[in-house]
Amino acid sequence: MKKILLILLPLLFLNIVVYLLFQKTSIFKKESLLIAFAGPLGRDVGRDIVCAIRMLVDKVNNEGGINGKKIELRIYDDENNKAVAKRVASEIAEENEVLLVVGHYYSSTSAVAGEIYRKHEIPVITGSATADSVTRENDWYFRTIPNNSLQASFIANYIYRSLMKQSVSIIYDKDDYGVSLLGGFQKAAEKIGIEVRKVWKLDTDDKKNLDKELKRIADELIAMKDPGMVFIATHSTEGAKLITRLKDSGKPFSIFGPDAFSGQTLLKRLKKYGRKDAPPGYYPSGLYCVTPYMNGIGNERTYRFEQEFFRRYQKKSTWGPVCFYDAILVAVEAMKRVEFQDNIWEDRRRLRDSLMNFYDEKRSVEGLTGYIYFDEKGDINRPYVIGTYDEHERLLPAYSQYQQITNMEKIDNVLQRVLDGGISVIDGKAMRRNRVVHSGIYINKIDKLDVMNSTFTADFYLWFRYTGNFDYQNIRFMNAVNPLRLGKAIIEETENGTTTRVFRLRTDFKAKFDFHSYPFGHLTLPIHFRHNFETWESLIFVQDNSDIPSSASDVPSEQHMKWGRKDMKPISGWKVREVICHQDMLTKISSLGQLDYLNSPHKISYSRFNTKIILEKTELKDVFRTFIPVIAIILVMYVACFIQPDRLGVRIATCTGFMIVNGAFHADFLTHFPVDYLTAIEYAFFAVYVFVIIYASMSVFIYRLYRKGNEGILKFCIWSEKILYPGAVSIFSVLFVYYFTRQP
């Protein structure tokens, strides 16, 4: 028997160990979801991307994680090097713990790493790699940025249709990034009729001869009589070397670059390779490029991201961190839809399938760059933003942009719009051309602030910058008390085809003040405008980041004349905490008066420009004055705690008085603030009701102890009443003030 036990016990122990290691038991279930980021940590853009990813990961974890599980982030440095990227991908695969990878940054590193991820069935999302080869034949790779075929086709169409150029010269890098840009551009150019005059190929792997080759290409371009538009399909370093040589020749070149030219890296390289005595903005000024995202052209959601990024890291975000934020965002949303089994292989497949389920706008994730959903290749299909650098090295939205059309059936006169150039087919996608009007508001003064009626008077400058014709007289201020016409501009300037008009306005506006935190909190004073007739399909307002002209005598000096304005004259009892300017879309549903659309009404969307002036209280005495009735009742109630326990009638009469007085002040407040929700001061009134009820209950209890002659307990309760009451009031007051004075 003992021998049998000696044999069976080790076998039983071994079975238990195997079961615990390989079965899904609750004690070994993972408490976190592991995500990896792989990118160039030695570069600013790589570190900024990590910052953006951590912003969202921290937010998700602080809100309880995903189905109770926190996200754990692992960081890997691939140095933007293919060999290192391959080693990093192998390390991630061998560890066999990561659910999903966010990365890599370059197309070349993404392509080589993608082969390993595909082999080990690890889903990956990149926010920057645009070469077609990254996602081609790899159904485990996704991206939140359009690919190079779409980018190059988009650039070709923009050069031809918006810039009216009919010939180009091309320089491209022979890596995946440059080759896919070249292929997409040539295909589109042949289709629309652009003449490609010459093509040069760069071998960036040949470090020894690279600078000689760049000099040779630049010299040949300079020698050409008319090279047309110069399309530089390279990375920022090689692009900067070419641009500085071309600019230093003194010959006027029109240059267009890819998304690699839209970040701070290009500007740094231009300063590095350009002449030291060149004036600021000399090299980038006039340069066109595309970008998946641009500061100032988004909505309030993107504005809040930009503000939070700057608050946390004391730097502005570029498109790289934004697109990778979208990558981690769509990953989080996909995870929320997965029932994880704690089997890494099965969980990865489920997560990949969840990502593939975002396949149209109805089944998408709203990111910072727009709605995110993938086609059968794992790509997103939407146009880039076209930007152009000004003399201050700022990348500003061009005056003509394109938007993808998702429903051609509701577009009238399609053929005519195609013939007029209003609609183009770019890489198989129907795109609508939009006119962009740069807009700004500068607040001079806010007065006649009527908190009770939610109105205020604003004195402000309004300006527009645009090309061509713009019907500015049909601007509609949506929350103006009375209709407002712009009248005659106080400044009207036209330079290089760009018109600037400045107006000075003063009128009353309506607002929907939020009194949830009254008398704490803040007030938001909005100014909204849109065009009366031109819809979003033809007109988009964007925030103007330039200085307003100051040639008129009544316009402040240029260095102070920025959009918004936080340093305006204080309003009595209030100070300006923040001024927000952004554009968004206002959508209305209408049948357009046509019987055919009664069952399928049109969505009519307008571009809306918004300015929000956020005020906060400056004088505590105003807050204190509002709470005087509550404070007085609480203090008198504490004095009432010293009334003898045998005077029950006096105590109850006192309680009745407290209720009547508190109720009277509460009713008076409601007559002045007839809102259909509870405010902070009302919570204080209700707290008084509760304290009075507790006091009355305690008085009855103490009186009964007195009648029974239970001296020991009676004495304890009397002293407890005198000590616990101020303690409870103090704790409630601290929590109350903290809750209602938090930043929104």
Distance between CA atoms of 451 and 615, rounded to whole angstroms?
12
- Residue 11: the pLDDT is 45
pLDDT of 86 > 90? The answer is yes
- Residue 113: the pLDDT is 97
Interval 109-163: pLDDT, tens: 999 999 999 999 999 999 999 999 999 889 999 999 999 999 999 999 999 988 9
Helices (H) and strands (E) in the chain, counts: 17, 25
Q: Write the Ramachandran bin of 30: left for phi over 0, alpha for psi from -120 to 50, otherwise beta.
A: beta
Q: Are 90 and 68 in contact (CB under 8 A)?
A: no
Interval 625-665: pLDDT, tens: 888 888 888 888 888 888 888 888 888 898 899 899 999 99
Distance between CA atoms of 159 and 157, rounded to whole angstroms?
5
Distance between CA atoms of 546 and 172, rounded to whole angstroms?
33
Q: Which residue has the higher pLDDT, 676 or 360?
A: 360
User: Which of the given ranges, 237-251, 301-315, 381-395, 570-584, has the highest pLDDT on average?
Assistant: 237-251
Confidence band of 14 (pLDDT split at 50, 70, 90): very low
Distance between CA atoms of 481 and 468, rounded to whole angstroms?
32
- Residue 721: the pLDDT is 80
- Residue 46: the pLDDT is 94
pLDDT of 166 > 90? The answer is yes
Mean pLDDT over residues 512-539, rounded?
A: 86
For residue 104, which of 120, 89, 94, 91 has the smallest C-alpha distance?
Answer: 89
Mean pLDDT over residues 40-65, rounded?
A: 94
Question: How many other β-carbons are positioned within 10 Å of the β-carbon of residue 648?
Answer: 18
Q: Which residue has the higher pLDDT, 370 or 289?
A: 289
Interval 173-228: pLDDT, tens: 998 899 999 999 999 999 999 999 999 999 988 888 999 999 999 999 999 999 99
Q: Write the Ramachandran bin of 67: left for phi over 0, alpha for psi from -120 to 50, otherwise beta.
A: left
- State the average pLDDT for the chain: 85
Beta strands in 292-373 (DSSP E): 365-366, 371-372
- Residue 409: the pLDDT is 55
- Residue 597: the pLDDT is 47
Question: CA dist 623 to 44, 447, 617, Å?
Answer: 46, 20, 8
How many residues are there in the chain? Answer: 744
For 263, counting Cβ atoms within 10 Å of its Cβ (0-12 exposed, 13-18 middle, 19+ buried), the class is buried
- Residue 56: the pLDDT is 96
Mean pLDDT over residues 24-46, rounded?
A: 77
Interval 584-618: pLDDT, tens: 778 776 544 544 544 555 667 788 999 999 888 76
Mean pLDDT over residues 718-734, rounded?
A: 85
Residue 708, classed as helix, strand or coil, is helix
Confidence band of 24 (pLDDT split at 50, 70, 90): very low
Angle at which helices 264-273 and 44-62 cross, to 10°: 160
Interval 469-478: pLDDT, tens: 899 999 999 9
- Residue 562: the pLDDT is 43
Least confident of 284-288, 374-378, 409-413: 409-413
Mean pLDDT over residues 479-483, rounded?
A: 94
**Cα dihedral: 552, 558, 562, 568 (round 10):** -80
- Residue 737: the pLDDT is 84
- Residue 518: the pLDDT is 81
Question: CA dist 577 to 344, 430, 525, 615, 617, Å?
Answer: 48, 43, 12, 6, 9
Interval 434-448: pLDDT, tens: 889 999 999 998 888
If you search the block for the tokens 């390279």, which residue do you land on? Answer: 234
pLDDT of 545 > 80? The answer is no
Distance between CA atoms of 542 and 466, rounded to whole angstroms?
11
For residue 513, which of 337, 718, 673, 276 has the smallest C-alpha distance?
Answer: 673
Q: Which residue has the higher pLDDT, 296 or 198?
A: 198
Q: Are 540 and 583 in contact (CB under 8 A)?
A: yes
Distance between CA atoms of 679 and 79, rounded to whole angstroms?
54
